[in-house]
Amino acid sequence: MMSTSRREFLENATKSMLIYTSLPAGLALAGNEYQSDLYTGKVPICQNMTNEISAQFTILTEGKNPYAYRVKDAQGRDLPVRKWDEEHRKHSGYGIDKLIAEKLQADQLYRLQVIDKDRGTVLDERIFKSLPLNRKTNLRFAMISCSCDIYHSQNSNMWDRMFAELPELVFVLGDSVYCDLGSDGTEKDLWRRHCETRMTLAHFRQPRLIPTLATWDDHDYGRNNENRHYAMKHVSRRIFECFFGSTPVAGYRKGHGVGSVLTGFGQRFFLMDDRFFRDEPRTGGMMWGSDQQEWLLQTLGENEKPAWLMNGSQYFSSYIGNDSFQKEYMRNLSDLTGKLRRLDAPVVFASGDVHFSEVLKIEPQLLGYRTFEFTSSAMHSINYPTAWYMRNPRRLTHTWKHNFMIMKTETIKNGISTDLYCLGRTGKMLISHAGTVQR
**Is 426 in contact with 160 (CB distance < 8 Å)?**
no
Predicted confidence (pLDDT) per residue in 200-251, tens digit: 999 999 999 999 999 999 999 999 999 999 999 999 999 999 999 999 999 9
What is the rounded CA–CA span in Å between residue 143 and residue 152? 20
- Provide the CB-side half-sphere exposure for 7 (13 A, CA): 0
Closest CA to 130 of 153, 145, 111, 157: 111
For the residues 395-412, what does the mean pLDDT come to?
A: 96
* Average of per-residue pLDDT values in the chain: 91
- H or E stretch covering 171: strand 169-173
Return the CATH number of the domain spanning residue range 139-438.
Answer: 3.60.21.70
- pLDDT tens figures, 90-129: 999 999 999 999 999 987 899 999 999 888 999 999 999 9
Contact 154, 380 (CB under 8 A): yes
pLDDT of residue 30: 36
Q: What pTM value is reported for the model?
A: 0.92
pLDDT grade for 262, boundaries at 50, 70 and 90: very high
How far apart CA 116 and CA 379 sit, in angstroms, is 33
Q: What is the pLDDT of residue 15?
A: 31
Peptide bond into 378 cis (omega under 30): yes
CA angle 145, 49, 58 (to 5 degrees): 80
What pLDDT is attached to residue 341? 98
Domain 6-129 part of CATH 2.60.40.10: yes
Residue 13 pLDDT exceeds 90: no
Q: Would you say residue 351 has pLDDT above 50?
A: yes
pLDDT at 64 over 90: no
Radius of gyration of the chain (CA): 21
5: amino acid identity, one letter: S
List the domain boundaries for the chain: 6-129, 139-438
pLDDT at 31: 38
